[in-house]
Amino acid sequence: MKLDQMPALQSYKITPTFTQDSVPAGLLAEHSTKEGVWGLIHVTQGKLRYCVTDTRRENEERILEPESAAGVVEPTIVHRVEPLGPVEFHVEFLRASDDPGIARTPNKGGEA
């Protein structure tokens, strides 16, 4: 999915900046966000491979770089990332502004 195909959403949390050495193991393995939780993967240095592997979607692989559009993570869709050498990136989590099922949290740290 591309940025311009996303519904109107509100940012509610941003992870710390991860590097090739600090990226959590959970992000390297196949995982998904909760229902209603979207993500944008922002690469600020280097390259990161973003793979969508969910059986409900066509497999997709993108190389994310600072110059490229953010990687779009759809709710519940299985995906993983892979650093391609030195990299810095963070994930921004979003949800519908009227979604009562997602707790409002400070705009920093952790996964959704």
What pLDDT shows up at residue 3?
63
- How far apart CA 39 and CA 13 sit, in angstroms, is 10
- Cα–Cα distance measured from residue 44 to residue 54, given in angstroms and rounded to the nearest whole number: 26
- Residue 77 pLDDT: 97
pLDDT of residue 111: 46
Per-residue pLDDT of the chain (112 residues; tens, 9 = 90+): 666 667 789 999 999 999 999 999 999 999 999 999 999 999 999 999 999 999 999 999 999 999 999 999 999 999 999 999 999 999 999 998 776 555 544 444 444 4
Tell me the pTM: 0.84
- Strands 60-64, 18-19: pairing kind: unpaired
User: Counting runs of H as helices and runs of E as strands, what totals does the chain give?
Assistant: 1, 6
Contact 107, 14 (CB under 8 A): yes
Whole-number Å distance between alpha carbons of 101 and 112: 12
pLDDT of residue 110: 46
Residues recorded for the chain: 112
Q: What number of CA atoms fall less than 13 Å from residue 98's CA on the CB side? A: 2
Per the CB < 8 A criterion, the answer to whether 88 and 17 are in contact is yes
Structure tokens at 93: 């989590």
Q: If you search the block for the tokens 């993967």, which residue do you land on?
A: 41
